[in-house]
Amino acid sequence: MTAALIGLPLFGAATLLLGGRRTNAWGHFFAVAMSASSFFVGIFLFIQMLGRSGEERAVGQYLFDWISVGRFHVPFGLHIDQLSMVFVLLITGVGTLIHVYSIGYMEHDPNRRRFFAYLNLFVAAMLLLVLADNYLLLYVGWEGVGLASYLLISFYQHKPSAAAAGKKAFIVNRVGDVGLSIAVMLMFVTFGTVTFEGVAAGAPQAAPSHVTWIGLALLLAACGKSAQFPLQSWLLDAMEGPTPVSALIHAATMVTAGVYLITRAHAIFDLSSTARTAVVTIGAITLLLGAFIGTAKDDIKKGLAGSTMSQIGYMILAAGLGPAGYVFAIFHLLTHGLFKAGLFLGAGSVMHGMNDDVNMRHYGALRTAMKITYATFGLGYLAIIGVPPFSGFWSKDEIIHAAFGQNIYIGLATLLGAGVTAFYMTRMMAMTFFGEARWEKGIHPHESPATMTAPMLILALGSAFGGLLLVFVGDIEGWLEPIVGIGHSDHAVSNTILIPVTLLVVLVGAGYGWMTYGRRPVPVVAPENVSLLTRAARADAYGDALNEAVFMRPGQYLTRALVWFDSKAIDGTIGGLSAAIGGLSARGRKLQNGYARSYALTMLGGAVLIAFVLLLVRL
Amino acid sequence: MKNSFEYAALAPIVVLLGAGVFSILIEAFVPRTSRRICQLFLVLGSLALSFGYVLINATKTLVGDPATNGGQTHGLRQFAVNGATVIDGAGLFLQGTLILIAFVAALLLAENQVDPQGDAFAARSSTLPGSEDERQFTAQGWTQTEIWPLYLFCVGGMVLFPVANDFLTMFVALEVFSLPLYLMAGMARRRRLLSQEAALKYFVLGAFSSAFFLFGSALIYAVTATMNFGQVSVALENAGQDTLVITGIGMIAIGLLFKVGAVPFHQWIPDVYQGSPTALTAFMGAATKVAAFAAMLRVFYVAFGGMRWDWRPMFWVVAILTMLIGSILAVTQTDIKRMLAFSSIAHAGFLLLGVIATSASGLSSSLLYLFAYGFTTIGSFAVVSLVRDAAGEATHLSQWAGLGKKSPVVATSFALFLLALAGIPLTSGFTGKFAIFTAAIGGGATPLVIVAVIASAIAAFFYARVIVLMFFTEPPVDGPNVVIPSWFTKIAIGVSVAVTLLIGVFPQPLIDLIVSSGIFAS
Amino acid sequence: MLTILMLIPLLGSIAVFALPAARETLAKQIALGISIVTACGAVFLTTRLSGLGGGFAVTEKHDWIPAFGISWSLGIDGISGVLIVMATLLVPLVIIAGWNDVEKIGRGTVKGFFSLILILEVFMIGVFAATDLFLFYVFFEAMLVPVYFLIGRFGGPQRAYAAMKFLLYSLVGGLFMLASLIGLYVVSERQLGKGTFDFSALANMNIDPATQKVLFLGFFFAFAIKAPMVPFHTWLPDAAAESTPGTSTLLVGVLDKVGTFGMIRILLPIFPEASKYYTPIIIILAVISIFYGALLAIGQTDMMRLIAFSSVSHFGFIVMGIFAMTSQSMSGATFYMVNHGFSTGALFLVVGFLVSRRGSKKIEDFGGVSKVAPVLAGVFLISGLSSLALPGMSSFVSEFLVLLGTFSVYKDVAIIATFGIVLAAFYILWMYQRTMTGVPSTEVTETVTEITKRELAAIVPILAVIIGLGIFPQVALKVINPTVNQIQTHVGLFDPVASTTPSESGS
Amino acid sequence: MNPNNYLVLAAILFTIGALGVLVRRNAIIVFMSVEMMLNAANLAFVAAARSTGTLDGQVAAFFVMVVAAAEVVVGLAIIVTIFRTRRSASIDEASLLKY
C-alpha cells in the first residue's frame, strides 16, 4: 500500500516518457489521475493511521534487500509514521492541485507531456524521500527530487538562462549531497547501520564528536536542498522554471526537505548542542538574508523566492531549537506549503494575464482585472505576514515564541524577520494590485481559466484556515509528539506579551511598505540612485558574486592550467623522452661513417674496453 | 692416441664439402644451359642428405628428457678426429638448424622470377659495373652458377663450426664459411658498387677479427699446451690466474663477438646487410648468427666455463651496449635492410644473455631463440626482396607506405615477422625472448633483463612504425609494387611464417627436443 | 566450457573474414549473431558461480608448455565472471551501434572491422578467464593487436599517432610486467621446486616481502598504464578520441578494466605484503586521478576526450576502492568496473551518434540538440546521469560502496574523494548544457536528426541494465561478494567494526 | 732463451699489423697488415709449441698458412674488382654505405 504511493506517480512518469507522442493527447490527464490517486491512497492510509493509537501508528514495509556487502546491509524498505504522513498529504495534496493548475498554465506549451512526466517523477521521488526507512534510500529520493527540479528548472531549454539555472541548482545541491553522503558514511562507521531506528537507537552510546559531525554533515545537506546560507544562491535562479514548478518544488515541498531531514534525524541533534546551535545560526542568518533580498526584487517570482528562503530559515531555526521546535518547524512547513503555493500560483496567474511579464513595475491596479487572483493572493498575503487568525500567524508566532525561549537574540532576529516579511509582502501586494496601472502596450490583463483558479481558491482556503484546523482540530503537537517528542523550555517571555509585540512589528513593517509603495506612484523603471543596501539586495546579497569569485573563476584558471600541464608537462615529458632517444639515434648514426678503417678503430677500442673490464675484474 | 676418422659422425659435413667439390666439376663440365638445374639438384639434394645424416647421428646421441632418466643431461657424445670435433646433442641440434636454414635460404638464392633480368647475382661479376659487356651479358640473360659451390662450402664450414672441439678446427671452420660469404656478398646484380664495397668491408674487418681470434687461441695454447676445449678447461682450473689467459679469452671473445655482431664490433653489419644481395643477407643474417653463437656458446661453456666469473662482467658490458645501441640506432633508420640489420644487432644482445647465464637453461633457451630468430630473419628478408621498382629492390621505408593495400598477404606476413622480432606473444620471437629472460633471471642477471626490457620497448617503436607505414598510410602514387615470386620464395616465406607461428603457439615439442638433446659435452 | 565460449567468436571472426568483401550485410549479421550467442553463453556460465564460496567455477586445465609450467587453464570467479558478462554484453551492442561506421569512414573493409571486433572479444574473455598468469599475459598483450588495428585502420585523422601511442604505452607496461612475471616464475621455481604460473599455486606461496615489493612494481606499472592512472593516462584521450565510438567503448569500457582487474585479482592475492606496503602512495595517486581527471574533463572541448578524462576520474575511484581493501570498497570497486563499462559505453555510443550526424566531436559545434532530437538528448542525459552516479543508477551504488568502504578505514581520503562527485556533476551537466540546450544553430538543425531504431536498439539495453542494477544491485553483488571476501581473508584484512552497534546498546 | 720473448715479439708484430690496418689507406697494404697479424699468431703458435713441447702449435701454423693463402686469393679478388670499378685501391673511397 505504501509502495503504491510512490508507484502510481512513478508509473505515470514512465508512461508519459516512454509512451512518447502517442500520449500527447491524454498525457496530462493521466498524470493528474496518477497524482490524485496517490493522494487518495494517502488519505486512506491516513484514516487507517488515525484508527491506531499513538505508538503503533508507525508502520514499515520491507520490500527487498537493496545493498548488502559485508556488514553493510541496506533494505529497500519504506516506513510511514505521523511525520511522513504529514508530508505525504502535503506533497500529494498540493501536488495534485498544482497538476490541475498546470493543465491550464501549460496549455499552449508543445512539451506539456514532458512537463507532466517530470511533475509525476518529482512527486514519486519526493514521496520516496519522506517514506524511506533508511538514510541511503532517503538519499535516492533526495537526489531524485534534485533531478526533477533540474529538469523542471531548465524546462525551457531553449533559454540559456534556464539551462544554466538548472545546472546551477543541481550542482549546488550536489555540494549539499556531499554532506549527506558523508553523514551516511559516518553513521555506518559509528552505528554499523543506516536505518532510522538503528541510528536512533545507537546515538546515545555513540561518541559525542561523531554525533556532532553527523549533525553538521546533515546540516550541510539541508543547506543545499533548502537553499540555506551559504548554499542559497541557486533558489533565486530556479525561478527560471515554469511557475507551477516554483510553487510545488521551490516553495511547498522540495525545498523543505532539509527541515524534514533535520527533524527525521532529531535523535542526532538532540544529543549535540553544537550541531543545534549551528542549525539555529544558519536558520537565523538565512531568514534575515532571504527577507532582505525579498525587499528589493521587482521580479515577483524572485521576490517570493526570497521570502521562501526566509520562511524556510524560520523552519530550520525552529528545528534547531530541538524538541521545543521540531513540531513548530513542521507546523510552519505545512502552513507555508499552503500559503506560499497559493502565492506562487497567484503570481503565475498574474503572469498568465500579463503574458508572462514578471516585472512588478509593469503591474499595478490588477485587483479589478483579476478578482479571484487578487482575493486568493490577498489571503496568502495575510497568512504569510502572520495576521491572526490566518494560518501563518499560528505557526510563525510559535516559532518566535520558542526562539525567545532559546535566547533573546535569536528571538529578536525572528521578530525582525517578521517585520521585514510584512514590508516586502505589502510592497509586492501594493505594486501588483494597487496603485495605477503601469501596463505595457497591448497588455490586457484577464482572469485565468478555472483549471487555474480552482486550485488557487483551495489553497487560499488552506492558507486562511489551515492554521486553525491544524491547531484545534488536528492537534499537530499531539500528532507529532510520539515521533519528535515535545519540550517546553522555560519561556523568557510569555505569549501574552509576545503576540501583541509581534503584531505591532508586523503592522509597522506593513505600514511602511504601504507608505512607500501604496501611496506614492511606483516608477516603471527601477531607480538607479538607491542605497547600497538596496543594491546589495538586488544583487541577491552578492551570493553569486561570491561563488563566482571564490569557486568559478579560480576553478577555470585551475582547469586551464591543468590542461596545459597535461599536454605540456606530462605528455611532454614522455614525448621528450622519445625525442631524446630519437636525437641520440640520429647522432649515433653518424658514427657509422662508412670508413672501414674507422670501424676497425672502433673494434680496437672495443678490444681495449674488453681488456680493461677483464683486468678490472682481476683487481 | 689412435688415428681415426669417424666418417659417420662427420657425414653431414663431408657430404656438404664433397658436394661443393662436385659442384665445381659441374661448373667445369656441364653446358651452361643446364648448369643451374644441376646445381640446384645437387645443392638441395646434398643439404637434404646431410640433414638426414644429422638425424641418424641424433638418434644415437639423444638422451631423452633429463627428468625421465635420472637428471642426466650429458648426451652420448662422440669425439671425431682425435677430439678435434665432438658430436653431441646440442651440436647436432645446431647443425640441424643450420642445414634447415641453409635449405630455405637456398630456395631464396635460386629465385629468378622477381628480377626480370634473372637471379639476384651479377650475370658476370668479373665485368665492370655499367660497362658494355656487362650490358651484353645481362642482355643474353646469363646467370652465374659459381655461387653454388661457394654456397656449399660456406654451409659446410658452418656445419662444422658448432661441433668444432678445438680452437684450430674452429678457426678453420670460421674461415671456410667466411671466405665464400665475402665473395658472394660482392656479386649482387643490382647496385654493384654497394655490393662490392660491402664485400671489401666484410672481408677486411672479418680478416681483422679472425686474426684476433687466432692470436687469442695461440695465447691460450701457450698457457695450456692444448687447443682442445675439454683439456683447456681442465688446464685452466690451475693455470687460470695467468694474465695471458685473460688476454687470450678477451681476443677470442673479440673474434666471436665480431661474427655475432655485438657492439662495439657491429659496424660491419648494417653496411654488409645493406650492400649484399638480399637473398644472401637473409642467409647471412640467419645462419651466421646461429653458427657464431653456437661457437661462442661452446667456447664459453666448455672451454672457459670454469672462468665465468672472470669473463661474465665483460659480457655484461657488451650485452648492455649491444641491446641499447642496436635498438636506439635502429629508430632513425630509413632503409629497411639497415633497420633489420640494427635489429639483428639488438637481438645479438638478447642472445648474449643466454651466454652469460652459463647454465643448462641458458643453453637450451639460446638454442630455442636461435632457431626461432633464424627463420623469422629469413622470412623478413625474403619479403624485402619482393618489394621492387624499376631500379631493383625498393628498400627505402617511404616506399613501403600503404603496402597493406597493394598486397595484403605479403604485408601481413611481414607484419607477423616484425611482431615476432618485437617479441609479441603467440609468435616465436616471444617464446625465445621469454625463455632467455627466464634463464637470465635464473642466472642472476636481473639487471640485464631490465635493460633488455627497456631495449625491447625502444625496439617496439620502430617495428610498429613499419606496420603503421604499411597499413595505416596511403600508398605513394609512383610507389614500388610487390612482384609475384616463383615457388622457391613462396615456399621460403611460407615455411618461415609457419615456423614463426608454430613456435609461438606450440613450442613444447621443440623445447622437448632441445632439452633432450642435452648440454655440450666436454 | 570457457574454451568453447572463446571458440565461438574466434570461428565467427574467421567466418566473417573469409566472406567476400562484397557481402557486407551478411558479415554484419554473422558478427551480430555470433556476439549474441557468446553473450548468452557467458551469462549462462556465470550462473554456475552461485553457491560456491568465491572460488573458481567452470575451470579447465590443459598443459600448454609444460617445460615452463604453463598451462591453458581457464576459470571464472565472481570478479572475472561479472566482467566477462559485461564485456560480452557490450560487444553486440557495439556491433549494432557501429553498423554503418565503416562505410562512413570509407577506409578499410567492413568484414575486417567486425572480424577484428570478434577477435578482440576472444581475447577479452581470455584475459579475464585465464587462471594461469602466463596465459593472462599472453592475452593481455595479444589484445593490443586487434585494438591497434581498430584504431589505426578505422580511426580519425590522428589515428596513426594515437594507435602508435596506445601500442607503445601498453607494450612498455607489458614488458615490465613480463620481467616481473618471469621473476615470479623463478621464485616459484625456487620455492616449489617446479616453476609454475598457476594462479592459485602462486597465490599460496609466501614470497618474502622484499621480493614482493620489487615484483609488485612491474605488475603495477603495467596495470596503472592500462587502468589508466595519472600520470600514465595520456594515451587514453588520444586513443579514445581517434577511434570509432564502438572501439572506444570496448577500449575504455573493457580493456582498461584489465588494469584494475589485475590489481584486485593478481596484485592483492599474490603480493599481499607489498600491496599493503604500497597502499598509501597508491591511494594518493588514486585520489589525484579522481580530481585530475575530473578537472581535465571540465577543460575539454572534444566530447570523446571529455569522456576519456571522466574515465580517468572513475578509475581513480576504482583503484581507491581496491586498495582500501575493505569488503565494501572492493566489492564496490568491482561493481564499479561493471557499471563504468556500461555507463561510459553508453556515453561513447550516444556521442558517437551525435558525431556521425554532425561530423564533429567539438562541443561548440553542437547546441540546441534537444530541440531537434529530444529523444537523443534524453538518452544522452540518462547516460550522463549514470556517469555522474545519480542515485537509482547502478553507478551510484558502486561509487557509494567504494566511498563507504574507503571511509571506514581512511576517513580523510574518503571525504576528499566525495567532493569528486560535485565535479562529476559539473562536467557532465555542463557538456549537456553546451550541446543539448539553447537554440540550435542552422548546421545542427540541418544535420542532426532524431535517434534511429537501430541506435535505440543499441543504447536502450545498456540504460535498462544501468537502471536495473541500480535498483537490484544484489544481482551482481551476490556474485562478487564471496570472491572479494576470499581475497580479503587471503590478504589477511578484516572490515573495521562499527564503534557502536545497536546490539551493544542493549547491554 | 726464454720462449716468452717470442710471445712478446709476436704481440709486437700483431700490434704493428693492427696499427697498419688502421693507418694505411691502400687496400693492399691494409690486407698485408692483416696477413702480418696472422703470421704474428703463427709465431706465437710455434713459440708456444716449443715452450710447451707439444706439436699442436706447429700443426696449427701450417693450417694457418693454408688458410692465409686462401684468404689471399679471396682478398685479392675482391680488391682487384674494387680497383677495376673505382680505378683506385684506396679503402676509404669505398664509403657509400653509411649512417
pLDDT digits (tens, 9 = 90+) for C448-472: 888 888 989 999 999 999 999 999 9
Chain segment C322-354, per-residue pLDDT in tens: 999 999 999 999 999 999 999 999 999 999 988
pLDDT at C506: 36
pLDDT at B328: 93
List A residues 578-617 in contact with B (Cβ-Cβ < 8 A): 578, 581-582, 584-586, 588-589, 591-592, 594, 596, 599-600, 602-603, 605-607, 609-611, 613-617
d(CA B204, CA B224): 30
Q: Is B424 in the C-facing interface, judged by CB distances under 8 Å?
A: yes
Any idea where the domains of chain B sit in the sequence? 7-516
- Does pTM top 0.80 for this prediction? yes
pLDDT at B240: 61
d(CA C284, CA C281): 5
- CB-CB under 8 Å, D44 with B211: no
Cα of A162 to nearest chain C Cα, Å: 9
pLDDT at B49: 95
pLDDT of B70 higher than 50 = no
Torsion of CA A437, A441, A447, A450, to 10 degrees: -160
- CB-CB under 8 Å, D48 with B218: yes
Chain segment B466-521, per-residue pLDDT in tens: 998 898 888 887 778 888 888 999 999 999 999 999 999 999 999 988 888 777 76
d(CA C403, CA C392): 17
Q: Is C163 in the B-facing interface, judged by CB distances under 8 Å?
A: yes
The answer to whether the CB of C296 falls within 8 A of the CB of C228 is no
Comparing A17-21, A376-380, C290-294, C420-424, which segment has the lowest mean pLDDT?
A17-21
* Across B128-142, average pLDDT: 82
* Across B198-205, average pLDDT: 93
Burial label, B278 (beta-carbon count in 10 A; 0-12, 13-18, 19+): buried
Contacts of B147 in chain D (CB under 8 A): none
pLDDT at A399: 86
pLDDT of B50 higher than 90 = yes
* Across B267-294, average pLDDT: 94
pLDDT of B352 higher than 70 = yes
pLDDT at B81: 78
- CB-CB under 8 Å, C164 with B471: no
- Going by C-beta distance under 8 Å and a sequence separation of 6 or more, which residues neighbour residue C481? A69, A70, C54, C78, C327, C331
The answer to whether the CB of C183 falls within 8 A of the CB of B441 is yes
Confidence at C502, pLDDT banded by 50, 70, 90: very low
* Across C503-507, average pLDDT: 39
Contacts of A160 in chain C (CB under 8 A): 437-438
- CB-CB under 8 Å, B512 with C168: no
Minimal-distance CA residue of chain A relative to D25: A597
Chain segment D8-59, per-residue pLDDT in tens: 999 999 999 999 999 988 999 999 999 999 999 999 999 999 888 898 899 9
Q: Is A43 in the C-facing interface, judged by CB distances under 8 Å?
A: no
- CB-CB under 8 Å, C182 with B472: no
pLDDT at C505: 39
Confidence at B522, pLDDT banded by 50, 70, 90: low
The number of folded domains in chain C is 1
The answer to whether the CB of C235 falls within 8 A of the CB of C169 is yes
Give the mean pLDDT of chain A: 86
Cα of C64 to nearest chain B Cα, Å: 7
Minimal-distance CA residue of chain B relative to D37: B211
HEC string of A326-366 equals HHHHHHHHHHHHHHHHHHHHHHHHHHHHCCCCCEHHHCCCH
DSSP-assigned letters across all residues of A119-152: HHHHHHHHHHHHHBSBHHHHHHHHHHHHHHHHHH
pLDDT at C501: 52
pLDDT of B61 higher than 70 = no
* Across A159-181, average pLDDT: 89
Confidence at C503, pLDDT banded by 50, 70, 90: very low
Question: What Å distances lie between residue A379 and A348, A460, C366, CA to CA?
Answer: 16, 6, 48
pLDDT of B1 higher than 50 = no
**A207 C-beta neighbours (distance < 10 Å), count:** 11
Contacts of C425 in chain A (CB under 8 A): 170-171, 174
The answer to whether the CB of A437 falls within 8 A of the CB of A368 is no
pLDDT of C504 higher than 60 = no
B347 or B512: which leads in pLDDT: B347
pLDDT at B87: 86
pLDDT of A307 higher than 60 = yes
pLDDT at D94: 80
Cα of A599 to nearest chain D Cα, Å: 9
Residue positions counted in chain A:
619
* Across A432-453, average pLDDT: 82
pLDDT of C507 higher than 60 = no
For the packed helices B192-224 and D56-86, what is the interaxial angle rounded to 10 degrees? 160
Which position has the grid cell 538518452? C379
d(CA B162, CA B298): 7
Which position has the grid cell 632467455? B436
pLDDT at C492: 83
Out of D40, D77, D85, name the one closest to residue B183 (CB): D77
Domain containing C378: what range? 2-505
pLDDT at A23: 83
Chain segment A443-499, per-residue pLDDT in tens: 788 888 888 888 888 888 888 888 888 877 777 777 887 777 777 655 566 777 888
d(CA A535, CA A551): 23
Q: What percent of chain A has pLDDT over 70?
A: 99
Cα of D53 to nearest chain B Cα, Å: 8
- Going by C-beta distance under 8 Å and a sequence separation of 6 or more, which residues neighbour residue C346? C379, C382, C383, C386, C459, C462, C463, C466
Out of C65, C68, C163, name the one closest to residue B472 (CB): C163
Q: Which helix (H) or strand (E) segment is C111 a member of?
A: helix C110-129
Distance of CA B243 to the CA centre of its chain: 33
Q: Residue A523: left if φ>0, alpha if ψ -120 to 50, beta else—which one?
A: beta
Torsion of CA C366, C371, C375, C377, to 10 degrees: 30
The answer to whether the CB of C234 falls within 8 A of the CB of C305 is no
- Going by C-beta distance under 8 Å and a sequence separation of 6 or more, which residues neighbour residue A244? A98, A101, A102, A105, A106, A119, A344, A345, A348
The answer to whether the CB of B237 falls within 8 A of the CB of B195 is no
Q: Is C17 in the B-facing interface, judged by CB distances under 8 Å?
A: no
Confidence at B336, pLDDT banded by 50, 70, 90: very high
Take residue D54 and report the three cell numbers written for it: 707439444
Chain segment C290-323, per-residue pLDDT in tens: 999 999 998 888 999 999 999 999 999 999 999 9
pLDDT of B72 higher than 60 = no
- CB-CB under 8 Å, B171 with D85: no
Q: Is A601 in the D-facing interface, judged by CB distances under 8 Å?
A: yes
Give the mean pLDDT of chain C: 89
With the C-alpha atoms ordered B365, B366, B367, B371, is the resulting torsion angle positive or negative? positive
pLDDT of B399 higher than 50 = yes
Q: Is A71 in the B-facing interface, judged by CB distances under 8 Å?
A: no
Which position has the grid cell 544522452? C380
pLDDT at A488: 67
SS3 B363: helix
SS3 A61: strand
